Amino acid sequence: MNTLRIRIATILCILAFTASAALAGGPQKTLPGDLSLTQAQAVLAAAQAKALAIKVPMNIAVVDAGGNLKAFARMDDAFIGSIDIATRKATTARFFNMSTRALGAAAQPGQPLFGIEATNGGLVIFAGGVLLVDKHNVIVGAVGVSGGSVDEDESVALAGAAAIAK
């Protein structure tokens, strides 16, 4: 039943875009519903506001549904080494459709995914990467934050994610 509803949604969607793409002439370059730059910059702005509120300079990275970088900001005095960590937190969250905190819990010694951080060219398995779920309940990307304690990082990421959730 659920599957049927998704199929109907897909058909409606495809019909809508058929009309649009046919008229546009060239092929459509971006899948419908993917994260826009406007959304990504709203995530950055909300995260940055939270970081200022808690007085911790942060690196903030936003990736789209395909896991590709969409927007980034390094606040003044934020760690240089966190450019990579913030970005990997975002991709890690999208790669496994869960927060980096949740992934990290399963990657501790003795846990099922111990050692997973050595895959994908290096994952981040501590808190600060969270999914971006839009108001239609679709995963459209992820945000990764690094610069403070992992709890601070995650609070800033969650503030960013909230910007497009409603």
Q: Which is nearer to its own copies, 95 or 163 (CB)?
A: 95
Q: How far is the CB of 143 from its own copies (least distance, A)?
A: 14
Q: Give 48 or 159: the residue with its C-beta nearer to its own copies.
A: 48
Give the rounded distance of the alpha carbon of 59 from its chain centre: 14
HSE toward the beta carbon, residue 18, CA cutoff 13 A: 6
Least distance from its own copies to the Cβ atom of residue 12, Å: 4
Is 147 strand, coil or helix? coil
| CA nearest to 58, candidates 81, 88, 79, 30 | 79
Beta carbon of residue 54, minimum distance to its own copies (angstroms, whole number)? 16
118 secondary structure, DSSP code: G
123: tokens are 């994952």
54/81 with CB nearer its own copies: 81
Residue closer to its own copies, measured from CB, 35 or 159: 35
Min dist. Cβ of residue 48 to its own copies (A): 8
Q: Both tokens of residue 14?
A: 């495809």
